[in-house]
Amino acid sequence: MLDYQGDPFPTGSSFYIKNLCSNFYQALAFNHNVPGAITCTAQPDPDCKWLIQYENNDRSRIALKSARNGRYLAATSADCRAPMGLSDQMVWWFVYQGGAPGTYWLSTSQTKDCFLHTWNCEQNEGSLVASFTNRDRNPEWRDYYNAPYSMFEQWTTGMSWGLDPTPELMQWKEQQKTSPQAQSSQQDSDELRKREQEFADREKQLQQREAELQQKAHDCDEREQKLKEKEEAFDKRSQDFERSYDELKKREDTVHAAEERVKKSKKGGKADLLATQEEKDELQAGLKSAQDQLKSANEQIAKLKQEGQQNKQSQVSIRTPAKKGALVFSIRSPEPTVPSKKLPDTKTPERKTLEIKRPGQSLPSGYNTSMLKRFEAGRKAMSTKA
């Protein structure tokens, strides 16, 4: 809580508590002839002066002490429009920001939602100062109860009070300004305010940074989920390719066995062998296509796994909590290399059948029938001699 000049003040300082609805001409006073709080023009009368005391230097809870008799302002009951009184016991009032800069709403700790109010926002001297609440406690006061929250907005000036220093407090402030200790204290106070403002700005930046990091982590989670779904789809596709590859291998083995049977069979001719060779070529072409597709799928799976690993590393660096005011560094871990699952190309040795040549009906050049007859006669003679 600050005064009109925007200065803090020590506990026990004296003020005129002025109301906003009268443009700060009327101040809070206590009428001892007809006990109750009213408004009056600010004057040196002790009934118009109030000493503001804190609760253990907590500016959000204050006590209003009369400068005349040292008694404390308090509500006489919890009813709406209940008059004010003076209590020997210290009564605390909660401080809220008022309807204008430098003004405050004062809510008594005796009851809930009960505010110090110039009734009906009257601006003349001697107006009633009472409590205002929207809680229904007494049916007889139905004209004032169950008021909507818009009533607070309508009568906000009647509940807004400002602190105008008394001449005694102004004199004390002037003395403090002239002393070296006061100047040093003022500089320290200004430095403290500056540091508090910097701290508030830094807190705001940290909150914005935290919100950005949370959004980035959320985006990383979504991206990781999409990568996982892609990886599962490619794994399924790779398994399908492997099954196709196995089926083609089985068919190739079957064709190879059929080829061997055709070769060993005496009944098989060139037509059967040619048909078997053509089927084998088709299977090898299909096998090569399946190998290429399997290779592409494995490369895509490896790429997706690498992206997922990088995403997890970046996510860990994002979600690592950092101390306030400390710089945040993201250390990138070495990327693991995943060995490729590429299968070596199978090369089947070429099998060519030997050209079948039947012996000719004619003798080679240089031979004739007479020479063949002599050869046969000589062979018979040698066999007979033996």
> Does the global pTM surpass 0.85?
no
* Res 204 pLDDT > 80: yes
Q: Where are the domains of the chain?
A: 13-178, 219-338
Percent of the chain with pLDDT over 90: 16
pLDDT tens digits, one per residue of 65-104:
999 899 999 998 877 778 899 999 999 999 998 888 889 9
Q: Give dist(CA 122, CA 21) in Å, integer.
A: 7
Q: Give dist(CA 244, CA 240) in Å, integer.
A: 6
Q: Compute the Cα dihedral for 189, 195, 197, 199 and give only its sign.
A: negative
Q: How confident is the model at residue 277 (pLDDT cuts 50, 70, 90)?
A: low
Find out whether 83 and 68 touch, Cβ atoms under 8 Å.
no
Q: Give dist(CA 34, CA 132) in Å, integer.
A: 20
Q: Give dist(CA 91, CA 316) in Å, integer.
A: 54
Count Cβ neighbours within 10 Å for each residue of 97-107 and write b for 16 or more, e otherwise. Answer: ebbeebbbbbb
What pLDDT was estimated at residue 26? Answer: 92
Helices (H), 320-337: none
H or E stretch covering 164: strand 161-165
* Res 271 pLDDT > 70: no
Q: Give dist(CA 90, CA 88) in Å, integer.
A: 7
Across the chain, what does the average pLDDT equal?
78
Find out whether 86 and 66 touch, Cβ atoms under 8 Å.
yes
CATH code matching the domain that covers 13-178, chosen among 3.30.160.150, 3.40.50.2300, 2.80.10.50, 3.40.50.2000: 2.80.10.50
pLDDT tens digits, one per residue of 338-349:
666 677 777 776
pLDDT tens digits, one per residue of 1-56:
788 888 888 888 999 999 999 888 999 999 888 888 999 998 888 999 999 998 87
pLDDT tens digits, one per residue of 130-153:
888 766 555 565 555 555 566 667
Q: What residues form DSSP beta bridges with 164?
A: 16
What pLDDT was estimated at residue 165? Answer: 92
Output the CA–CA distances (angstroms, integers) from residue 364 to 242, 297, 358, 359, in the order listed: 59, 63, 14, 11
Find out whether 249 and 287 touch, Cβ atoms under 8 Å.
yes
